């Protein structure tokens, strides 16, 4: 088996919509066990049900026309108990009908047919943690199903009668923080607050040389439960994402599941499914058919050649300088022209590698589009384009700012080659390049792991550990810790005792920040200890590291102590923001926020607490429009 797991999707025109609708596998779980106190709803213990479903998506890449797909059909759900208190849901889809333009219909008909396959998901605490499916199942079809079935998640609160709470969940896009509100018996709203990250394979359209995380433009879901059945879920969301310089994408997704029968119309042959299915954790990409990357590049290139793409980029750069007072409409047209040429150039570098040498020559000659040229070389993410960036960084005739810009493009590639890794390790010893190279190696370590190059990722992670161990002064320690912070490399944590207890508070703070992406629960204890550090900057670092984590008891205790303590207002206000996202599941924090909202002397802390509780300046409850199910 290749070191890299297969992780890509076919890119016909309609499939661009899948880019933001959630078809690329979730980020490795930072809290794999999930919160044990958040129990699953009672419907999981029922006999199952049959649902009608509707799934619609429209995606827009700024450089092209909107792409859309839609499916309707019937979903039968059959639950069975699983080990360790979880539950498995056997899923069977029938009568799946696609809706699409004539040019897209043939591709969608194939996917609709392949969606009618048996599969199962395992839930713990009401949240999907794994998927079981035959290894030869059509990955595109399975991914569309994953978009649909993510609506079956419901993370109950602790205490059970809480009216508002938050929970970390997964859909097939990635890990997100969900805010729940109870507005009537057995009826709830759910809103996605933010995503942590996406996982894209090397050959997917998301591999544009930068880490991708979607922004939640809008999100609302209404759920209805009954004593032993999930009744309905209706969700609408809009996500946006930057795929590269001037290249924004957006996606609107609508999902409906409505119970039409109290039992599954199609049962699951569990014995047959168990015999052939393979279980994929949420941190594992599904096996996929080879991506038609050539087709994607052809779509991006269109009628451009290297020469015309570069000419357009240089014209846009020149016009920006010569016409600084251009109208908004003119600026929008310039942005569109720039992104079209940039996207085309990245595709050209992949499809016509002989043009890479021309790009190098243009950079050395001082082209007006140097930033776009080196950005497109990184975007191309091939060994040849990475080697070109390496040569340019080594070109001493180039100004230092251009070399640094080129280095930043190199460290943002998704799949750094062995040669690129070796160069970055050498660059870490160059005083001018050291900080960017070391921090960048941390990002390289994380991205290589995300797309399946785990052995190469581990080698980079071990290099970062060695770099920290060899550090002879605080500045070198800070630099190495910056790289570890970007990597999320968990094996580094046991080696960090000396820096976690360093006399220099800058080093202690950086060491705590370095745990922010580490999934291990051991990091919770390390962060909690730092919440008691006597230096405010270290406490602030610990709060920053707490923000993306689940509310572990040791963290809740530490945050509550800061809320009601005597730290400087900026530290306490930061603690308020963290408590605001945890308060639904942690009554202790809600109580502390209530106390601050009514009796806190500092205006900033008091105002932040009132905002967290949804209280207006006159003391009345403030209902946010997005939370109103009506």
pLDDT tier at 284, thresholds 50, 70, 90: low
Query: Residue 261: pLDDT above 60?
Result: yes
* Res. 584 pLDDT band, cuts 50 70 90: low
For the chain, how many structural domains are there in total?
Answer: 2
What torsion, rounded to 10 degrees, do the Cα atoms 534, 535, 536, 537 define? -150
**Closest to 253 (Cα-Cα) out of 128, 93, 113, 71:** 71
What stretch of H or E contains 87?
A: strand 87-99
Q: Which of 274, 290, 306 is the last residue of a domain?
A: 290
**What is the per-residue pLDDT for 353?**
95
Highest mean pLDDT among 159-163, 204-208, 324-328, 485-489: 485-489
pLDDT tens-digit readout, 53-110: 999 988 876 555 567 889 999 998 888 877 666 788 889 898 888 887 776 777 788 8
The pLDDT value recorded for residue 333 is 81
Torsion angles phi and psi, residue 93, rounded to 5: -105, 140
Q: Is the pLDDT of residue 8 over 70?
A: no
- Residue 230 within a domain: yes
Mean pLDDT of 9-25: 36
Give the C-alpha separation, 518 to 545, whole Å.
10
Tokens 């209805």 locate to 224
Instruction: Report phi then psi at 255, rounded to 5.
Output: -130, 135
Q: Is the pLDDT of residue 20 over 50?
A: no
What percent of the chain clears pLDDT 70, i.e. is strictly above it? 80
Model confidence at 143, pLDDT cuts 50, 70, 90, reads confident
Domain boundary among the residues 270, 290, 310 is at 290
Average pLDDT over residues 122-128: 82
- Report the chain's terminal Cα–Cα distance, integer Å: 52
Flag whether 599 is in a domain: yes
pLDDT of residue 496: 95
**Single pTM value for the model:** 0.59
pLDDT given for residue 14 in this prediction: 35
Q: Does residue 198 carry a pLDDT above 60? A: no
Residue 437: exposed, middle, or buried by beta-carbon count in 10 A (0-12, 13-18, 19+)? buried
DSSP helix/strand/coil, 166? strand
Task: Decide if 312 contacts 345 (C-beta within 8 A).
Answer: no
Q: Given this model, what pLDDT does residue 35 score?
A: 30
pLDDT tops 80 at residue 228: no
CB 118 within 8 A of CB 268: yes
Q: What is the structure's pLDDT at 452?
A: 76
Higher local confidence (pLDDT), 324 or 361? 361
Least confident of 8-12, 72-76, 275-279: 8-12
Q: How confident is the model at residue 157 (pLDDT cuts 50, 70, 90)?
A: low
Per-residue confidence band for 149, with pLDDT thresholds at 50, 70 and 90? confident
Whole-angstrom distance, CA of residue 219 vs CA of residue 627: 10
In angstroms, the CA 205 to CA 59 distance is 13
Helix (H) or strand (E) holding 487: helix 474-487
Residue entry with tokens 């859309």? 68
- Our separate counts of H helices and E strands in the chain read 23, 12
Distance of CA 382 to the CA centre of its chain: 23
The percentage of residues in the chain with a pLDDT greater than 90, rounded to a whole number, is: 38
How high is the pLDDT of residue 65?
Answer: 59
Answer yes or no: is 428 within a domain.
Answer: no
Least confident of 2-16, 181-195, 258-272: 2-16
pLDDT tier at 165, thresholds 50, 70, 90: confident
Query: Which among 290, 305, 331 is the end of a domain?
Result: 290
Structure tokens given for 189: 């709203």
More confident residue, 595 or 195: 595
| pLDDT score recorded for residue 43 | 43
Asked whether residue 481 is domain-assigned, the answer is no
Whether 421 has a pLDDT exceeding 50, the answer reads yes
Classified as helix, coil or strand, 182 is: strand
Contact, 381 vs 414, CB < 8 A?
A: yes
- Mean pLDDT of all residues in 591-616: 83
Can you tell me the distance from the alpha carbon of 417 to that of 423, in angstroms, rounded to the nearest whole number?
Answer: 10
Q: How far is CA 177 from CA 160, 171, 190, in A?
A: 19, 11, 10
- CATH number of the domain that residue 100 is part of: 2.30.230.10
Greater confidence (283 vs 382) lies with: 382
Mean pLDDT for the chain?
Answer: 80
Contact 465, 477 (CB under 8 A): no
* Residue 143 located in a structural domain: yes
Tell me the C-alpha distance between 74 and 2, whole Å: 38
- CA pseudo-torsion sign 453, 546, 87, 144: negative
Locus of tokens 């016409």: 323
**Residue 240: band (very low, low, confident or very high) from pLDDT cuts 50, 70, 90:** confident
pLDDT score of 616 more than 50 = no
The C-alpha angle with vertex 552 and arms to 546 and 556, in degrees rounded to 5, equals 70
* 261-277 burial code (b ≥16 CB/10 A, e <16): eeebbbebeeeebeeeb
Task: Select from 235, 249, 210 the least CA-distant residue to 63.
Answer: 249
Range of the domain at 594: 521-630
Q: What is the pLDDT of residues 511-550, one digit of tens each?
A: 999 998 887 889 999 999 999 999 999 999 999 999 878 7
- Per the CB < 8 A criterion, the answer to whether 359 and 389 are in contact is no
C-alpha dist (Å) from residue 428 to 142, 336, 424, 435, 479: 43, 37, 6, 7, 10
pLDDT at 226: 76
Is residue 496 in some structural domain? no
**Secondary structure letter of residue 302 according to DSSP:** T
User: Which of 119-133, 298-312, 572-586 bottoms out in mean pLDDT, i.e. has the lowest?
Assistant: 572-586
Mean pLDDT of 149-168: 76
Which phi and psi (to 5°) does residue 196 adopt?
Answer: -85, -45
Residue 18: partners with Cβ closer than 8 Å, 6 or more residues away: 9, 57, 59, 69, 140, 143, 144
Would 438 be classed as within a structural domain? no
Cis peptide before 320 (omega within 30 of 0): no
With 90 as the cut, is the pLDDT of residue 482 above it? yes
Greater model confidence, 568 or 152: 568
Lowest mean pLDDT among 313-322, 323-332, 471-480: 323-332
What is the 3-state composition of the chain as percent helix, strand, coil, each rounded to the nearest 5? 45, 20, 35
pLDDT above 50 (res 617): no
Measured CA angle at 190 (ends 189, 191), to 5 deg: 125
Residue 218, pLDDT above cutoff 70: yes
Q: Let me know if residue 7 belongs to a domain.
A: no
Measure Cα distances from 600 to 360, 543, 581, 597 in Å: 60, 20, 20, 6
CB 139 within 8 A of CB 115: no
């Amino acid at each position: 088996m290749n070191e890299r797991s297969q992780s890509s999707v076919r890119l016909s025109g309609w499939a661009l919509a899948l880019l933001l609708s959630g078809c690329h596998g979730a980020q490795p779980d930072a809290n794999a066990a999930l919160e044990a106190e958040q129990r699953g709803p009672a419907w999981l213990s029922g006999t199952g049900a049959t649902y009608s479903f509707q799934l619609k998506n429209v995606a827009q890449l700024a450089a092209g026309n909107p792409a859309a797909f839609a499916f309707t059909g019937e979903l039968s759900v059959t639950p069975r108990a699983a080990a360790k208190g979880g539950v498995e849901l056997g899923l069977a889809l029938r009568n799946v009908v696609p809706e699409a333009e004539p040019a897209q219909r043939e591709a969608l008909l194939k996917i609709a047919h392949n969606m009618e396959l048996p599969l199962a998901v395992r839930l713990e605490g009401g949240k999907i943690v794994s998927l079981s499916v035959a290894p030869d199942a059509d990955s595109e079809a399975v991914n569309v199903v994953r978009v649909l079935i993510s609506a079956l998640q419901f993370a109950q609160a602790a205490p059970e009668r809480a009216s508002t709470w938050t929970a970390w969940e997964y859909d097939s896009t990635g890990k997100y923080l969900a805010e729940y509100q109870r507005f009537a018996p057995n009826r709830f709203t759910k809103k996605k607050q933010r995503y942590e990250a996406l996982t894209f394979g090397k050959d997917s359209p998301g591999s544009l040389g930068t880490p991708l995380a979607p922004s939640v433009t809008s999100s609302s879901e209404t759920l209805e439960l009954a004593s032993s059945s999930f009744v309905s879920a209706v969700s609408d969301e809009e996500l946006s994402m930057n795929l590269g310089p001037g290249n924004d994408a957006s996606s609107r997704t609508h999902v409906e599941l409505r119970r039409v029968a109290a039992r599954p119309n199609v049962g699951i042959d569990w014995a047959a499914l168990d015999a052939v299915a393979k279980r994929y954790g949420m941190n594992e990409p599904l096996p996929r058919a080879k991506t038609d990357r050539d087709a994607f590049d052809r779509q991006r290139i269109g009628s451009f050649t290297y020469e015309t793409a570069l000419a357009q980029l240089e014209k846009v750069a020149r016009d920006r300088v010569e016409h600084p007072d251009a109208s908004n409409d003119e600026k929008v047209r310039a942005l569109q022209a720039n992104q079209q040429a940039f996207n085309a150039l990245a595709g050209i570098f992949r499809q016509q590698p002989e043009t890479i040498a021309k790009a190098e020559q243009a950079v050395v000659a001082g082209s007006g589009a140097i930033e776009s040229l080196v950005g497109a070389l990184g975007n191309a993410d091939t060994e040849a384009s990475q080697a070109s960036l390496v040569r340019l960084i080594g070109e001493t005739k180039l100004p230092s700012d251009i070399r640094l810009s080129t280095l930043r493009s190199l460290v943002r590639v998704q799949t750094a080659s062995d040669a690129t890794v070796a160069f970055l390790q050498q660059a870490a010893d160059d005083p001018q390049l050291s900080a960017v190279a070391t921090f960048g190696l941390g990002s390289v370590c994380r991205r290589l792991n995300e797309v399946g190059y785990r052995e190469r990722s581990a080698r980079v992670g071990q290099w970062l550990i060695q770099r920290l161990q060899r550090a002879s002064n605080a500045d070198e320690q800070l630099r190495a810790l910056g790289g570890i912070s970007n990597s999320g490399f968990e094996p580094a944590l046991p080696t960090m005792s000396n820096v976690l207890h360093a006399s220099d508070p800058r080093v202690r703070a950086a060491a705590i920040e370095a745990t922010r992406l580490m999934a291990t629960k051991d990091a919770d204890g390390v962060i909690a200890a730092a919440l008691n550090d006597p230096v405010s900057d270290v406490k602030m670092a610990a709060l920053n590291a707490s923000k993306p984590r689940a509310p572990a008891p040791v963290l809740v205790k530490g945050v509550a102590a800061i809320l009601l303590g005597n730290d400087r207002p900026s530290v306490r206000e930061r603690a308020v923001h963290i408590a605001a996202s945890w308060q639904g599941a942690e009554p202790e924090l809600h109580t502390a926020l209530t106390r601050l909202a009514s009796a806190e002397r500092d205006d900033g802390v008091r105002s932040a607490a009132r905002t967290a509780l949804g209280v207006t300046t006159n003391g009345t409850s403030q209902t946010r429009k997005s939370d109103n199910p009506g």
